[in-house]
Structure 1
Amino acid sequence: MSALPATLGVDVGGTTVKVGVLAGGRLVDTAERPTPRDPDVLSGTLAELVLPRVSRHDATAVGVVVPGVVDEHRGVGVLSATLGWRDAPLRALFTERLGMPVALGHDVRAAALAELGPSAPSAPQDAAFVALGTGLSAALVLDGRIRAAGGLAGELGHCDVGHGQLCPCGATGCLEVLASGAGMARRLQQRTGEPVVGAEDVARRAAAGDAAARAVWDDAVDALSHGLAWLVGIAAPEVVVVGGGVAAAGAQLLEPLSERLDQRLSFHRRPVLRAARWGADAARVGAALLAQERT
């Protein structure tokens, strides 16, 4: 059997655009750029990142995954609160600019494909991938299939966990306000009046004993355990994979999160909680897998 051709994966995050080439089961030739908010400007950034790699690796297709509500069938970015677009015809825009087939997908469902899909070791039938990055979202694997529901499934970040604060989406109490990377950084900066460089900065300060950072981190873990308890009660996953930049904290996040989740459960199935095998690369690996599947 011949090896699959190389494909490109692009993860358009709320902060950074990440690109890489999936070849022989390895992610190579990676790069990152700041994310432009305007879709037309973004298409130009993709051309700068993608086209040289197409030539270098003789790649046949590219997968691009984006945050928010994504209609993969129509190729439309329906809504991104993080990047500020609505009903953006992204697949058509990117295909025209790149001059090659583009598979458009949702960033977290793509990460779930990389971590929990058919190519993953011991893929469970029922699982969830939770992405803790600039925003917060989830992907559900039910009976071995990733659930899209017209692009609306998995919006865990916009479930009400009871804190009453306003979210940029317009609702109150959203989990994303407390437990996303941007939410944690914003809350610590509000408490201290000092610049905070992302959730990594919050984690570092909390680990060093900073009281304000520890309070923000503790609030985030508690809120996340609340959201996961809802998820467990509804979907009963065997495994919950935690990815995104916040998950780079490792045991500092997963150990207290596992303990608090366990305290919230009674008769429920207790899922195995683990960090993403692909780490922060899961979405771009999944994007490349989408390109292999759809083109």
Structure 2
Amino acid sequence: MRHVIALDVGGTGMKAALVGVDAAPTGRTPPVLLYEARRPTGRERGPDAVVEAILDFAAELRDLGTARFGAPALAAGVAVPGIVDERSGTAVYAANLGWRDVPMRALLSERLGGVPVALGHDVRTGGLAEGRIGAGQDADRFLFVPLGTGIAGAIGIGGRIEAGAHGSAGEIGHIVVRPGGRACGCGQRGCLETLASAAAVGRDWAAACGDPQASAADAAKAVESGDARAHTVWHNAVDALADGLVTGLTLLDPKTLIIGGGLAEAGDTLFTPLREAVRRRVTFQRLPSIVPAALGDAAGCLGAGLLAWDLLSTEVTA
């Protein structure tokens, strides 16, 4: 079985898969997942240990694929957080992992015996999967926005994901929606992700209800039960999110807004007020469809597999 390695690196854990490539994963046909596994990143041991954990995990997958299918993987795709230079294959910076200027593509290719490796940004890679086989596959222009610990975005245009001139296209979480507001890790105040990320909602609900362990999921449940305090927290987050999204759709004119991440798991508790808040804000703009992501937390791993598949497709047609 011809296959590739797909690896999605998060702040605390890694998801990986061996993906079959005998049939092109296009349209409504997803990649064939032959094997899936998870590992911790081991970030508590420092950035060098995280890099080594990634390389070891990839080598383990190569050996397993060789044993099971009689041949090593043809290529590998890896998605990592932070600032990523996809052209040079460099993981430039990741605050949650502590690394800087890691030549990830070269290191992985060497560890895997010289196979071609594609490196991608985690959110843009998830957007690639949502655009090709998920919620955005019928849209020639979409914006994928996962609401997790932070907020980022992937801009889908004509079947590709825009990286930008410097590798930071789509950073919608750092649009200032409340000038002079909360301090953000980027150095600004009032950024969207300080108000509408799952982490921000969880923090605000914990303060409102007095339970330091409360999460965004708990806030959603409290909204559904009619808690007035939770309604205020939720309303503030939805309003901030709508402001940021309308800025995005004004600039990009997407056909579809795809909302993912932990906050999207609230379903209609999020989407009903969010659609109405966006509708109230648009004037000349064309109102896009606002839909939940289809692939959940598998998007990054599936997207990494698609990056590897695209490497093979490029080699065949070159």
TM-score past 0.5 threshold: yes
Alignment CA distance shift 1:209-1:190 (3 Å): same
**Pick from 84, 92, 97: which aligns with 1:70?**
84
Alignment CA distance shift 1:195-1:15 (3 Å): farther
CA shift for structure 1 position 15: 3.9
Task: Give the corresponding residue for 1:29.
Answer: 35
Alignment CA distance shift 1:40-1:124 (3 Å): same
8 Å contact 2:86–2:120 — kept in the other structure?
Answer: yes
Q: Which runs of 5+ in 2 are unaligned?
A: 24-30, 313-318
**Pick from 178, 182, 187: which aligns with 1:170?**
187
**Pick from 234, 240, 251: which aligns with 1:234?**
251
8 Å contact 1:225–1:261 — kept in the other structure?
Answer: yes
**Pick from 128, 138, 161: which aligns with 2:177?**
161
Residue 293 of structure 1 aligns with an amino acid whose one-letter code is: D
Q: Distance in 1 between matches of 2:12 and 2:219?
A: 17
Between the two proteins, the alignment pairs up a number of residues equal to 292
Alignment of 1:223-262 (within 5 A): 223-262=240-279
Q: Distance in 2 between matches of 1:196 and 1:162?
A: 26
Residue 81 of structure 2 aligns with an amino acid whose one-letter code is: P
8 Å contact 2:47–2:97 — kept in the other structure?
Answer: no
CA shift for structure 1 position 246: 2.2
Residue 18 of structure 2 aligns with an amino acid whose one-letter code is: V
**Pick from 168, 174, 186: which aligns with 1:152?**
168
CA shift for structure 1 position 26: 3.3
CA shift for structure 1 position 135: 1.6
- 1:143-197 CA-partner distances (Å, limit 9, x unpaired): 4432111311100001101151100111111111112222222333344442336
**Identity value in percent:** 43
Task: Give the corresponding residue for 1:129.
Answer: 144
Task: Give the corresponding residue for 2:316.
Answer: none
- 1:49-79 CA-partner distances (Å, limit 9, x unpaired): 4334333444332211112221101112223
Q: Distance in 2 between matches of 1:134 and 1:119?
A: 22
8 Å contact 1:188–1:196 — kept in the other structure?
Answer: no
CA shift for structure 1 position 41: 1.6
Q: Is it true that 1:44 corresponds to 2:44 in the alignment? A: no
CA shift for structure 1 position 131: 1.4
Which TM-score applies when normalising by structure 1?
0.87
Residue 257 of structure 1 aligns with an amino acid whose one-letter code is: L
CA shift for structure 1 position 199: 3.1
Q: Distance in 1 between matches of 2:80 and 2:185?
A: 18
Task: Give the corresponding residue for 2:63.
Answer: 55
8 Å contact 2:50–2:97 — kept in the other structure?
Answer: no
The range that moved more, 220-229 or 112-121, is 112-121
- 1:89-128 CA-partner distances (Å, limit 9, x unpaired): 3323434445454321011111121111389884322111
Q: Which runs of 5+ in 1 are unaligned?
A: none
Q: What secondary structure does 2:91 align onto?
A: strand
Q: Distance in 2 between matches of 1:22 and 1:16?
A: 19
CA shift for structure 1 position 267: 1.9
8 Å contact 1:82–1:135 — kept in the other structure?
Answer: no
- 1:207-255 CA-partner distances (Å, limit 9, x unpaired): 3444444333322221111111001111110011112222222222222
